[in-house]
Amino acid sequence: MQGNIACAEGALAAGCNFFGGYPITPSTEVAEHMAKKMPKMGRTFIQMEDEIASISSVIGASWTGAKAMTATSGPGFSLMMENIGYAVMTETPCVIVNIQRGGPSTGQPTMSAQGDMMQCRFGSHGDFSIIALTPSTVQEMFELTVRAFNLAERFRCPVFLMSDETIGHMRERIVIPEIVETKNRKPLEKGKLPFEADSDLIPGFPVFGEGHRVHVTGLTHNAKGYPDTTNHKIHSDLVKRLVEKVESKRHEIADYDILNNDAEIVFLTYGPATRTVRQIIKDRPDLHIGHINLRIVWPFPEEVLSEFKSAKVFIIPEMNLGQISREAARHTNVPVLSLPKLGGEMHNPKELLLAMEEYL
């Protein structure tokens, strides 16, 4: 199955019943597959006039109780940023798939990249926290799309599947389970205000059309949902809660594999470079390479770095100019070697072996 199709199938298995999108290379197959399948399943697919309208429709659908998703790439992702901030502020669960391509601007529409990793974390304005998943196989495209929906429903926030053209257009054999574990958002309890958080810092969700009267605004708001933009305490408490509901569970959200945690040379990867490192480990077991594969990049699992007590270097190959390398360097005193690569090609084993030479 193609990676983009596996993503769409994962969304359907997770219960996605609304897709609003606009076709853009290299994500278009996600929308095409949803357009074919959703009407037959009694679910809603709509092609909007652009990506701003797409994310708007997804937010609106989510407030009617729908599990809602969109898929895009580079320029479309940039257009969504304002409304992604709106989804954060209104605590709207939704899934945004970004099949990354070379940028800036129109860039390389048919070539792979990982240049949007910082954009998904900080692209909208203000202080906030998000969750971003990063598949390295077609199997993970299916599994992590399911997980993205479950995390969005649990934490009431936008969740990103940050893939790329390589994995999106790759074809591999995958196993689709008969039963997929799904989670639904917590309903608003009787007597609770619509933005009154529980002990987990997450309010219950008042679904439109189910008897609730609720005001939903991107302005700073109180627990009733009414704007209150000049009270510094209300704004501070609200924004801190929006961040802490995710950050306080960062170690629980974290998802990664580690190999050879006694190694001196350690690769940290996400997406396509994971495949290259695994190939080297298979071909050269004599080198005793350590490996961290991140399936969730945001929140960044800084604790994983400390598991490698003997590490002399963390080598991080990325299809960008070192976006996650800089994040990793903030959390360790061990040297971090960034291996950037642009132009649309994956790192090959020779490049990674060459980078290792001075540490062997």
Tell how far CA 133 is from the center of its chain. 4
Q: pLDDT band for position 197 (50/70/90)?
A: very high
Biggest CA–CA distance in the chain, Å, is: 66
Q: What domains can you pick out in the chain, each with its CATH number?
A: 1-253 (3.40.50.970), 257-359 (3.40.50.920)
Contact 134, 147 (CB under 8 A): no
Compute φ and ψ for 38, nearest 5 degrees. -65, -45
Q: Which two tokens stand for residue 289?
A: 């390479």
The radius of gyration of the chain from alpha carbons, rounded to an integer in Å, stands at 21
Task: Determine how many CB atoms are found less than 10 A away from the CB of residue 49.
Answer: 8
Closest Cα partner for 119 from 89, 75, 166, 71?
Answer: 75
Q: pLDDT band for position 63 (50/70/90)?
A: very high
Q: Which two tokens stand for residue 103?
A: 């940028």
In whole angstroms, give the CA distance from residue 144 to residue 244.
Answer: 23
pLDDT in tens, 30-51: 999 999 999 999 999 999 999 9
pLDDT in tens, 179-194: 999 999 999 999 999 9
Q: The pTM is what?
A: 0.97
In whole angstroms, give the CA distance from residue 339 to residue 66.
Answer: 41
Percent of the chain with pLDDT over 90: 98
In whole angstroms, give the CA distance from residue 116 to residue 123.
Answer: 9
pLDDT in tens, 290-306: 999 999 999 999 999 99
- Does residue 212 have a pLDDT over 90? no
